[in-house]
C-alpha cells in the first residue's frame, strides 16, 4: 500500500467519525470463504458476510463518490464490482507498462471511501477482447498493438507468449504494490468474460494466472469469469472453471435475453436466476456461488432492455436480488446496467429491503439447504437451516411479461395457505412475515402444518427461528 494511499485512507476514516470497536474490526477484516461452510463467505474476524450490491459500470466520476457512498450506506450495500480498465479508471492508458499515478489516485480515493463505509470492491483487471491498430469497438485495446508502440499483433500473441504473460504479471505487481494489503478489496478478478476474448486460450491462461493472483494478493479472493450462461453448450466450460482449484468463487452471468439459445433465459427473472444457481450447485464445487452479472438486455445482448423504463416499482430488480440467494447462492444477484436499473428510476431501496430480509443471518452457521415447496399459485424458494427456516414466496402468475409488456397489474392475494408439513417445524411456531414491497413486518403462527399469509402482493418472505427446520 502506497504512503499517499495510507494518508488518504486515514483522512477518510477520520472524516467518517468514530466507529464502534466491532465495526472497526469488521472494516479491517478481509472477505474469506467461510471455514465453517465453504458455500458461504465470512470476514476474517468470523463475522458473517452476505455480498449485497451491483456492478458499478460504467464507473462513476470522482465528483459522484460522496453522493454514491451516501446512497449505498443508506441502503445497506456492502459490495460493488468495478472494471479497472474502463475509461478514466484505466491506469495503463497511454503506453504499455506506463501507469498513471493520477488515475490511480481516483482508485485510491474510491477504495478509501469503500473501506470507511464497509463496502467491498471486486477489482476486475481486464475486459478488452481484441488488440487492434485502430479502435473499432468498446472492447478493443489499441496501445498494445505494435503499430502504436505496443508489443503484439494479436490477442493470441499477448495471451500465449512469455512476453505477454510477463507483461500481465508486471501489471499485477504494480497493483499489488499499491493495494496488496487492502481489506476493502473483495476479490481480484482476472478478466471479464474471458471466453468471449478473440482467439482466447482462456483456460490455459487462467490456469497460469490464478496462482499469480494468489501469490500477490494472498489475503484476497482470486477469481475468473465467463460469458453469459445462456446456452446449454456452455455447461462444460462453466463446470471446468467452477472446479478449478485456484478459482475461489463459482461465478455465473445470466440475463433475461429473448435472443438466448436457452429457453429459460426468456422466462420469469426469478426462474432464470434460480436455474443458473442450481446449475452451479450441481457441479458440486464446494464453493460460494454468486450470480455476479444479471439484468435485462435486448435480444442477443445488443443493448440495455427497454423494460427498465416500464418498471417504476422495480419488479425486475427485486427478482434479480432475491432469487439467487434463496436458491442457494452466497449473496443476492448483482445487477448490470446500474444507471438504468437502479439510479434513474431511484430504486436503491430494494437493496435495503433485501438486507432486511436476511438481517441477522449467519449462513455458515445455519448450513442452509435450498429447497422448493410446491404450491398452486406461488414459486417458493426455501432455505432450511439448523435453527432458521427462510422462504421467499413469489406470485407465479405475475412476472415481467404480464406486468411490463401486457400491462396487467399484479393481484393482491388474501389468506394464502402454505403447506410446511414436509418440514420439522413444531405447531405453534412463530412465523415472521416480511413484505419487501411495503417494508412491513408482521407475525403469524404455524397451525396444522401450514402458514396462512393474510396478504401477498408479488412476494413475501417467511422466517421461522429457534426450530428444527430441516426436511424429513
What confidence tens digit (pLDDT) does each residue in 84-138 have?
Answer: 999 889 999 999 999 999 999 999 999 999 999 999 999 999 999 999 999 888 8
CA torsion angle 282 287 288 294 (round to 10): -50
Q: Which residues contact 70 (CB under 8 A, 6 or more apart)?
A: none
- Does residue 429 surpass a pLDDT of 70? yes
Query: Does residue 166 sit in the same domain as residue 305?
Result: yes
Of 344, 363, 382, which residue constitutes the final position of a domain? Answer: 363
Query: Does residue 137 sit in the same domain as residue 119?
Result: yes
Query: Does residue 62 sit in the same domain as residue 169?
Result: yes
- What domain range is 456 assigned to? 370-465
**Higher-pLDDT residue of 19, 183:** 183
Query: Does residue 241 sit in the same domain as residue 307?
Result: yes
Please report the pLDDT score of residue 24 as a whole number.
84
Outline where 308-392 has alpha helix (H). Answer: 315-326, 338, 349-357, 363-366
Query: Does residue 390 sit in the same domain as residue 263?
Result: no
Q: What is the DSSP letter of 404?
A: I
Cβ contact 80:55 at 8 Å: yes
Query: Does residue 273 sit in the same domain as residue 375?
Result: no
Query: Does residue 20 sit in the same domain as residue 60?
Result: yes
Query: Does residue 318 sit in the same domain as residue 431?
Result: no
Residue 472 within any structural domain of the chain: no
- Does residue 46 surpass a pLDDT of 60? yes
Please report the pLDDT score of residue 19 as a whole number.
44
Residue 16 within any structural domain of the chain: yes
CB count, 10 Å around CB of 257?
22
Please report the pLDDT score of residue 276 as a whole number.
98
Proportion of the chain above pLDDT 70, given as a percent: 94
Query: Does residue 144 sit in the same domain as residue 54?
Result: yes
The alpha carbon of 228 is separated from its chain's Cα centroid by a whole number of angstroms, namely 14
- Does residue 349 surpass a pLDDT of 90? yes
Please report the pLDDT score of residue 18 as a whole number.
44
How large is the average pLDDT for residues 316-328?
A: 98
Beta strands in 280-335 (DSSP E): 289-296
What confidence tens digit (pLDDT) does each residue in 47-59 have?
Answer: 999 999 999 987 7
Residue 448 within any structural domain of the chain: yes
Residue 39 within any structural domain of the chain: yes
What confidence tens digit (pLDDT) does each residue in 431-440 have?
Answer: 999 999 999 9
Q: What is the mean pLDDT of the chain?
A: 94
- Does residue 16 surpass a pLDDT of 70? no
Query: Does residue 150 sit in the same domain as residue 251?
Result: yes
Residue 471 within any structural domain of the chain: no
Query: Does residue 153 sit in the same domain as residue 244?
Result: yes
Residue 54 within any structural domain of the chain: yes
What confidence tens digit (pLDDT) does each residue in 134-167 have?
Answer: 988 889 999 999 999 999 999 999 999 999 999 9
Query: Does residue 60 sit in the same domain as residue 87?
Result: yes
Residue 340 within any structural domain of the chain: yes
Say which CATH number the domain at 447 has.
Answer: 2.60.40.1180
Residue 319 within any structural domain of the chain: yes
- Does residue 4 surpass a pLDDT of 80? no
The alpha carbon of 329 is separated from its chain's Cα centroid by a whole number of angstroms, namely 10
pTM of the model as a whole: 0.94
How large is the average pLDDT for residues 352-358?
A: 98
Of 330, 363, 396, which residue constitutes the final position of a domain? Answer: 363
Please report the pLDDT score of residue 9 as a whole number.
52
Please report the pLDDT score of residue 22 as a whole number.
75
Please report the pLDDT score of residue 2 as a whole number.
53
Our count of domains for the chain comes to 2
CA-based diameter of the chain, in Å? 76
Gap between the Cα atoms of 386 and 470, Å rounded: 7
- Does residue 61 surpass a pLDDT of 70? yes
**Higher-pLDDT residue of 454, 426:** 454
Say which CATH number the domain at 235 has.
Answer: 3.20.20.80
How large is the average pLDDT for residues 284-296?
A: 98
How large is the average pLDDT for residues 54-77?
A: 94
What confidence tens digit (pLDDT) does each residue in 396-427 have?
Answer: 999 999 999 999 999 999 999 999 999 888 88
Of 308, 337, 363, which residue constitutes the final position of a domain? Answer: 363
- Does residue 371 surpass a pLDDT of 90? yes
Please report the pLDDT score of residue 472 as a whole number.
42
Amino acid at each position: 500500500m502506497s504512503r499517499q494511499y495510507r494518508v488518504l485512507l486515514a483522512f477518510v476514516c477520520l472524516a467518517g467519525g468514530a466507529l464502534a470497536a466491532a465495526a472497526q474490526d469488521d472494516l479491517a477484516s478481509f472477505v474469506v470463504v467461510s471455514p465453517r461452510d465453504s458455500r458461504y463467505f465470512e470476514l476474517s474476524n468470523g463475522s458473517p458476510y452476505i455480498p449485497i450490491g451491483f456492478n458499478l459500470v460504467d464507473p462513476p466520476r470522482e465528483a459522484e463518490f460522496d453522493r454514491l457512498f451516501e446512497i449505498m450506506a443508506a441502503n445497506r450495500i456492502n459490495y460493488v464490482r468495478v472494471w479497472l480498465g474502463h475509461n478514466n479508471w484505466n491506469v495503463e492508458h497511454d503506453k504499455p507498462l506506463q501507469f498513471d499515478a493520477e488515475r490511480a489516485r481516483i482508485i485510491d480515493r474510491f477504495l478509501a471511501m469503500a473501506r470507511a463505509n464497509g463496502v467491498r470492491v471486486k477489482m476486475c483487471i481486464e475486459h478488452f477482447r481484441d488488440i487492434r491498430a485502430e479502435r473499432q469497438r468498446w472492447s478493443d485495446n489499441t496501445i498494445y498493438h505494435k503499430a502504436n508502440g505496443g508489443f503484439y499483433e494479436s490477442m493470441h500473441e499477448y495471451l500465449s507468449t512469455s512476453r505477454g504473460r510477463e507483461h500481465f504479471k508486471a501489471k499485477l505487481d504494480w497493483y499489488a504494490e499499491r493495494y496488496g494489503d487492502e481489506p476493502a478489496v473483495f476479490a481480484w478478478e482476472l478478466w471479464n468474460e474471458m471466453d468471449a476474448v478473440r482467439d482466447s486460450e482462456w483456460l490455459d491462461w487462467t490456469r497460469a494466472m490464478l496462482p499469480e493472483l494468489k501469490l500477490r494478493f494472498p489475503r484476497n479472493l482470486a477469481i475468473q469469469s465467463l460469458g453469459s450462461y445462456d446456452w446449454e453448450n456452455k455447461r462444460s466450460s462453466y463446470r471446468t472453471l467452477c472446479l478449478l482449484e485456484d478459482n475461489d468463487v463459482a461465478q455465473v452471468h445470466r440475463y433475461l435475453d429473448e435472443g438466448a439459445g436457452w429457453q429459460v433465459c426468456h422466462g420469469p427473472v426469478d426462474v432464470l436466476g434460480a436455474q443458473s444457481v442450481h446449475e452451479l450447485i450441481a457441479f458440486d464445487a464446494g464453493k460460494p456461488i454468486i450470480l455476479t452479472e444479471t439484468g435485462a438486455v435486448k435480444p442477443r445482448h445488443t443493448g440495455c432492455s427497454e423494460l427498465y423504463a416500464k418498471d417504476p416499482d422495480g419488479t425486475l430488480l427485486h427478482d434479480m436480488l432475491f432469487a439467487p440467494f434463496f436458491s442457494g447462492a452466497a449473496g443476492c444477484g448483482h445487477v448490470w446496467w446500474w444507471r438504468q436499473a437502479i439510479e434513474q428510476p431511484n430504486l436503491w431501496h430494494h437493496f435495503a429491503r433485501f438486507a432486511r430480509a436476511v438481517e441477522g443471518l449467519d449462513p455458515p452457521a445455519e448450513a442452509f439447504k435450498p429447497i422448493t415447496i410446491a404450491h398452486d399459485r406461488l414459486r417458493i424458494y426455501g432455505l432450511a437451516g439448523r435453527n432458521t427456516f427462510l422462504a421467499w414466496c413469489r406470485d407465479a402468475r405475475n412476472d415481467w411479461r404480464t406486468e411490463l409488456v401486457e400491462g396487467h397489474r399484479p393481484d393482491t392475494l388474501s389468506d394464502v395457505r402454505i403447506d410446511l408439513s414436509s418440514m420439522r417445524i413444531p405447531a405453534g411456531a412463530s412465523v415472521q412475515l416480511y413484505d419487501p414491497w411495503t417494508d412491513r413486518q408482521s407475525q403469524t403462527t404455524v397451525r396444522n402444518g401450514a402458514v396462512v399469509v393474510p396478504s401477498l402482493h408479488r412476494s413475501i418472505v417467511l422466517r421461522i427461528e429457534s426450530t428444527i427446520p430441516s426436511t424429513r
